[in-house]
Structure 1
Amino acid sequence: MTTTGFTDSSASQLDGSGFPGFSEDVPLDLSGITEGSERALLARLIDRTFDDFADTAAAVGYCSHPIRLVGHSDTVDPVTGEILSSFSSAEAPLGVLYRPCGNRRADVCPACSRVYARDTFAMIKAGLTGGKTIPDTVAANPLLFTTLTAPSFGPVHGPRARNGQKIGGRCRPRDKTPLCVHGRPVGCMAIHDDHDPRNGTPLCDDCYQWQSAIIWQWWAPELWRRTTTAIRRAIAARLGLAEHHLRQVVRVEFTKVAEYQARGQVHFHVLIRLDGPDGPGSPAPLDGDQLGACVRNAVTGMIMEAPPVDDHDQARILGWGTELDVKVVRDGNRTDDPDRPLTPEQVAGYLAKYATKDANSIRPVARPPAHLARLEATARDLGRRALRHDPVSPYRLLGKWAHMLGFRGHFSTKSRHYSITLGRLRRARHRYRQLVARAARLGEPVDVSQIEDQLLADDVETTLVIGSWHYQGTGWTNPGDEALAIAAAARAREYGQWKASKINNW
């Protein structure tokens, strides 16, 4: 099986005839549709534009909030100046050109976030096992799966492990229940499950360091940047090299995603790979355990000073939390050990899943938890204080990121040479669609398994597209269209999961 963000070489082996969602007895789930949307869908059937909508929805991958464009474009041969083809939005099925919104957040657009997750999975997996322009020999390089957490800003409620299980233990058991300075218990004998609304909430709101929690969140991207430098220095020291000579012997590559914890702080899941001097796939001078020791030393010793917000604030010393987890996925000697708890595919899927989430992933839609609302309010207040104190303060944009609880970093990042870029995968998918459309017009078959190198080629296009396009708006103009697109996207996800399960069982 070849898993990519734009093609699947096993698709020809599955016609979908066994998928239960293709049956007429299993309609799309429109149980939550409003009366107005239902009338709009009926209007589509009456005026016979439903087929036009269906074609448009399929073209944008059942995006929930597609972008509407009006205009025209010409495809020109750059050598002769000949116009090879022309296209106008008036020729589109609905008279407007619809394009996918491309939002990575699953709570905003399930369809586009799924595409983003698949691209992220392909990008991560290529850096683990090769493919997509990365040599297969990269599968032998040492690899770590590391989780870095935020420090504690005060005790909070949450599930606790017991007897090897993630839940079942008491929250904060105490033989005697002493009180904090504000008269509240410092212990909790409750057993919280994963869905307990108290998870992440402080035992005492007045003891909790709300401002420090936001300041740490604001500087978390910079803390990670400095940590990568510290890891390289630790490796250089272990090899007895000067830091500026390190790239002549070894290269450190990584990819990471951020995930919000129930208390509102992000933690980072990171894949760290060690390559030789010639890049991905070249032999590394350390094994996984030695690399893990360097990472632990760098993380535990990493601190940085955060400046005060204003004259009424103070500087803070920031570092990582004590819950550091460093697992060796590969040690550089074997890659086929069935007793290892992690596989590259598992890790890639895990990281891709979290790449589509943000702060909203821990916010119930109906009623956000009070502690998250207070963190957001604290971020806005600190941003206002920073602006009053100094217009060029490093915290001047903190209020803008209050909805993210102060975190301003990208949720998915990678080092330059870890793997293929997401942009290159998007270009390949665009070329693939063009190739399929051309083959359909000419009645020619397309052998997907034979064209991957052509799709991923980083060459210059042989044609020039000149056009004039204008933004008309975002979203479906018919209220029933969005409901149907979301339902169709859900069915497409079900089909994708069904197809993957069939392939994996072969």
Structure 2
Amino acid sequence: MSLQTVNALWAALPRPRFDDNNKLHLPGYQAHESKAIVARLVSDDLDAWSVAASRVGYCSNPVHLVGASTTIDTTTGEVISSYTSADEPLGSTVVRCGNRRESACPSCSRLYAADMFQLIRAGVRGGKTVPTEVADNPLVFATLTAPSMGPVHGTRDNGRRCRPHTTGQPRCQHGRSTTCMAAHADGDEQLGQPLCRDCYDYASHVVWQWWAPELWRRFTITLRRTLAHHLGIPATRLHEAVTVQYAKVAEYQRRGLVHFHALIRLDGPRDVEGGFAPAPRQVTPTILARLVRDAVSLVRFTAPPVHDDDVPRVLAFGSQVDARPVTTARRTDDPGTALSPEQVAGYLAKYATKAAADTTDHTNPHLRRIQHTADTLGRRVEDDWVTTGRQGPLAALPYGLLGKWAHELGFRGHFATKSRRYSITLGQLRRARRRAQQLVADANRRGEAIDLASMEAQLLAVDDDHTTTLVIGSWTYTHTGWDTPGDVALAKAAAAAAREHDQERAAQRNARNQQGEVT
């Protein structure tokens, strides 16, 4: 057991204290967690656990595998390297869980957010194999909201009261007030809660959420048609003049409905080699923002009834639509209506790591009822499918899998998507990171230094389909997660400490850059 390892992990934990029974207690942790943490810190295999945990970035719920692999040069048949999990500190190969949700795994979520930031930023300013000329193309940051399913408690600008006025009766049909004179602060448990849960349209809430991905798809189609009309060309020939590229993430509101936040960029003709061609001058960022708003207002979708006793619904986005140009170093847009690329990329990366798990608190009655409604509707669909003897698989029905998405409040879409040519892909970034880690490991074994910064373009551009090596392996899954609650707590604490350290370094770096600009 290394004293250095103990000190490093201990520093990530809150300052301990002794309770009334003279037992060591760590603030913020339950008694059994504190006991398990201390047991790990004094265990004989602490160093082995620390090495394994650090290799996966202190992932909260890693996957354990056993097996071996051999890397062969396909051109010569030579065995380049071999690997076996038996050589690992814990006797198994530990890999990240890869969960993007901050509530599930802070470490993997942080890595996902970093990758998303790089992906999004590359589509704004260039870099990561994307040409810097992309910064000259019109770019808009848009937020597409959900419609109202009933009045809910919320915050207002400048600390104003929640709902001081009403356009109808002072009380609803259930006898509850239709106004709220409170000025809610952040963290208020009432935020997002309906003024009357019996008036709130939970069924329509779930149906809208279910079809939200379809509304986004129709928006992209409508935007292209709106662009074609503005340019005076047939929609079928739009690709000869412009292409629409985007990166989009979904964020849950307090009321349990998703917003779509998107960066929408206009490029030139699709058939230009490499993509990212200059956009036509007829569409400025300001005009693109207006066309985005116009397209959102035109989107409609008639959702089929959930069951035989239900009714069809005409779905649309909410009336609150925000679309404004994004400025870069090359732009001169109105600074009062623009956002910086780093700010927008940071927003979208943060939203991409939020999850329904963050809004499905079992103590929240509104969210519990949304889940219950989605589950009930899903069971009704399944029962009708069984009792009526309908042909085909359940998944083929419009709402066949609704019950399976109740934990996501009915939202079945991806939380982060992008168009094909917006920028690089997450797969490219992850493959480049694996290659870089392997190069560093090989260089360390040889005692050599390596400059990864100069190799970035090469690492990102390598195509796995054209590599000259073949990896042959046999692997078996053993289990998921750490052995004790103390291990999980230590991993999360170490990941949090690493995040704070990186944030401090980033703040210092930004301060030095700003000081350099001033001088």
The residue number in structure 2 matching 1:76 is 72
The residue number in structure 1 matching 2:477 is 471
- Which deviates more from structure 2 when the two are superposed, residues 426-435 or residues 83-92? 83-92
What whole-Å deviation, never above 9, does each CA across 1:379-432 have from its counterpart, x for those lacking one?
Answer: 011111222334442101000000111000011110010010001000010011
Q: What letter matches 2:511 in structure 1?
A: N
The answer to whether the Cα contact below 8 Å between 1:379 and 1:402 also exists between their aligned partners in 2 is yes
The residue number in structure 2 matching 1:222 is 214
Q: d(CA) in 2 for partners of 1:129 and 1:202? A: 42
The residue number in structure 2 matching 1:244 is 236
Q: 1:429 aligns with which of 433, 438, 442?
A: 433
Q: 1:101 aligns with which of 97, 106, 127?
A: 97
Please show how residues 317-356 of structure 1 align to structure 2 within 5 Å. Answer: 317-330=314-327, 334=331, 341-356=338-353
* Distance verdict in 2 for CA 1:207–1:334, change over 3 Å: same
Moved over 6 A (4+): 22-25
Q: 1:481 aligns with which of 469, 473, 487?
A: 487
* Distance verdict in 2 for CA 1:501–1:340, change over 3 Å: farther
The residue number in structure 2 matching 1:28 is 13
Q: What letter matches 1:433 in structure 2?
A: Q
The answer to whether the Cα contact below 8 Å between 1:60 and 1:99 also exists between their aligned partners in 2 is yes
Deviation (angstroms), 1:462: 2.6
The answer to whether the Cα contact below 8 Å between 1:56 and 1:93 also exists between their aligned partners in 2 is yes
Q: 2:313 aligns with which of 312, 316, 327?
A: 316
* Distance verdict in 2 for CA 1:223–1:263, change over 3 Å: same
Deviation (angstroms), 1:79: 2.0
Q: 1:386 aligns with which of 381, 388, 393?
A: 381
Q: d(CA) in 2 for partners of 1:260 and 1:31? A: 31
* Distance verdict in 2 for CA 1:211–1:181, change over 3 Å: same
- Structure with a larger share of its residues in helix: 2
Percent of pairs with identical residues: 52
- Which deviates more from structure 2 when the two are superposed, residues 330-339 or residues 174-183? 330-339
The answer to whether the Cα contact below 8 Å between 1:387 and 1:393 also exists between their aligned partners in 2 is no
The residue number in structure 1 matching 2:54 is 58
The answer to whether the Cα contact below 8 Å between 1:288 and 1:331 also exists between their aligned partners in 2 is no
* Distance verdict in 2 for CA 1:23–1:406, change over 3 Å: closer
1:499 aligns with 2:505: yes
The residue number in structure 2 matching 1:180 is 172
Find the residue that maps to 1:428 and give its secondary structure. helix
- Which deviates more from structure 2 when the two are superposed, residues 354-363 or residues 150-159? 354-363
- Between the two proteins, the alignment pairs up a number of residues equal to 479
* Distance verdict in 2 for CA 1:202–1:77, change over 3 Å: same
The answer to whether the Cα contact below 8 Å between 2:65 and 2:92 also exists between their aligned partners in 1 is yes
Q: 2:446 aligns with which of 424, 442, 446?
A: 442
Please show how residues 184-333 of structure 1 align to structure 2 within 5 Å. Answer: 184-277=176-269, 278=272, 279-285=275-281, 286-330=283-327
Deviation (angstroms), 1:363: 4.1
Q: What letter matches 1:381 in structure 2?
A: T
The answer to whether the Cα contact below 8 Å between 1:144 and 1:272 also exists between their aligned partners in 2 is yes
1:377 aligns with 2:372: yes
Q: What letter matches 1:383 in structure 2?
A: G
Q: 2:122 aligns with which of 101, 126, 134?
A: 126
1:409 aligns with 2:413: yes
Deviation (angstroms), 1:177: 6.3
1:90 aligns with 2:94: no
* Distance verdict in 2 for CA 1:350–1:462, change over 3 Å: same
The answer to whether the Cα contact below 8 Å between 1:144 and 1:292 also exists between their aligned partners in 2 is yes
TM-score (norm 1): 0.90
Deviation (angstroms), 1:336: 8.0
Find the residue that maps to 1:171 and give its secondary structure. coil
Find the residue that maps to 2:251 and give its secondary structure. strand
Find the residue that maps to 1:389 and give its secondary structure. helix
The residue number in structure 1 matching 2:400 is 396
What whole-Å deviation, never above 9, does each CA across 1:133-166 have from its counterpart, x for those lacking one?
Answer: 11001111111111111111111111122xxx3x
- Which deviates more from structure 2 when the two are superposed, residues 171-180 or residues 448-457? 171-180
Q: What letter matches 2:375 in structure 1?
A: R
The answer to whether the Cα contact below 8 Å between 2:58 and 2:107 also exists between their aligned partners in 1 is yes
* Distance verdict in 2 for CA 1:125–1:281, change over 3 Å: farther
Deviation (angstroms), 1:283: 3.1
Q: What letter matches 1:252 in structure 2?
A: V
Q: d(CA) in 2 for partners of 1:343 and 1:331? A: 6
Q: d(CA) in 1 for partners of 2:41 and 2:161? A: 56
What whole-Å deviation, never above 9, does each CA across 1:273-317 have from its counterpart, x for those lacking one?
Answer: 001113325233410111122111111011110000112101000
The answer to whether the Cα contact below 8 Å between 2:360 and 2:407 also exists between their aligned partners in 1 is no
* Distance verdict in 2 for CA 1:172–1:215, change over 3 Å: farther
Find the residue that maps to 2:98 and give its secondary structure. coil
What whole-Å deviation, never above 9, does each CA across 1:313-367 have from its counterpart, x for those lacking one?
Answer: 0100000101111111149972587655410100000010010011222344xx5
What is the alpha-carbon root mean square deviation over aligned residues? Answer: 2.2
Q: What letter matches 1:494 in structure 2?
A: E
The answer to whether the Cα contact below 8 Å between 1:177 and 1:187 also exists between their aligned partners in 2 is no
TM-score (norm 2): 0.88
The answer to whether the Cα contact below 8 Å between 1:170 and 1:189 also exists between their aligned partners in 2 is yes
The answer to whether the Cα contact below 8 Å between 1:141 and 1:331 also exists between their aligned partners in 2 is no
Q: d(CA) in 1 for partners of 2:330 and 2:502? A: 35
Unaligned runs of 5+ in 1: 1-21
